[in-house]
Structure 1
Amino acid sequence: METTGISPQTKRNLELLSKSSWLSQFYLVGGTACALYFGHRISYDLDFFTTQSFDATKIFKDLKKIGKVSAGTVADDTFLGVFDEVKISFFYYHYPNISEFANYHNIKIASPQDLVAMKIDALQSRGTKRDFIDLYTILTQKNYSLRQAIDFFQDKFKSANYNLEHVLMSIAYFDDAEKTPETLTLNKPIDWQQVKQFFIDQIKDFEKENLS
């Protein structure tokens, strides 16, 4: 795994968490999971999902045993807080995993295929630059086509109610991302215009092959 993609404090927190047996029901997702695979940018937050219901109050107590923690939200199957200066979250997430986990210090990491599906889902609602850059990095580094990416999305979210046309439009809709101020620390040079053109071209190819 590419530890250059996570901050020193995030790395330390992962090592602390790895010693906790209760973490075994959770898996790491989001930008930090992507950064551990590819090291393309520095990521800080720790976001964990599980397909099992859990007691958020117990999570809070367990975190306090191994570090300094403040809670923002403690609710049914939901915990958001700050753990040793790093934002951390735990969520119940019922959508199935479509491929095997990777492993980092005994911590489960969502697969690249699952991360692709979740990044596409994220683009439907918020469309941040980091989500576009993460998705671009996974697709180019793993040599996945947009057809494969959409297959991952449809496989993971087959029980969801979604509109494929809207999904495709969101992959090439950049207005929200460009209007929202965002600070990214890139380990590898990534040109935003190149990212945009990549998705525009991918959408054109997809539509020619699948919608004509």
Structure 2
Amino acid sequence: MAMILSIAEQSVRQLGGEASVLARQRRDHIKIDRMMTYYESGSGTEAERQRTLHDIVQLTFSHAFAEEVVLWPALRRLALDGEELTARVEEEHQEINELVAELERTASDDPRHDELVGRAFAWIRQDIRDEEDLLLPRLQEALDRTRLRRLGSAWETVRRTAPTRPHPAVSRRPPGNAVAGVPLSAFDRTRDLLPVGTRAPNALTLVVAGAAALMAWLVFAAVRHRRR
């Protein structure tokens, strides 16, 4: 069996075109790496660097969630070593989740902040290498261009509506991650609307507040109905 090149070393045409899941994945990887390099350079104001870090977190977690929901289940079905390969990258995702969750509890002027960022970036880069060198070539080996484009469309759809923050306690596999995805995405994307650095309420607080608001609306609607 011929050895398939890392997707980092192939042209867009070899990857199946712009719509292929392989090309989509690589575009995100390049964007994440560029943002990490910019952050590490120390360029820009502190506010700009924190905005960049925020953008890295958003893209990294929405990207990884879509992989776990769409790509890795497909790889486990298609490749004999799919279980081993996906278990490896899921462990990397879990490490990144835990590090970034800890980072979000740490102020930007805390001495541990830069250490946590450095460790998280190292894991993200390792994850990118493993995906481009090991996992994604196996998908390329098993699927033709049409199926790679279809998988790319499914992956992109999930990525655009996925959670954007770390959730270490959530399962890395379906159906647990898929079931949790909708409420977590709503929670994360509400937080994303807040200014960078704003301390958001935790998920339970928002759930309780939302339930209270819903109850108040139902009571109001019932009163109005009785008055008619």
TM-score (norm 2): 0.27
Structure with the higher fraction of residues in helix conformation: 2
Structure with the larger RCO, 1 or 2 (CA within 8 Å, 6+ apart): 2
Structure with the higher fraction of residues in strand conformation: 1
Report which of the two structures shows the higher radius of gyration computed on alpha carbons.
Answer: 2
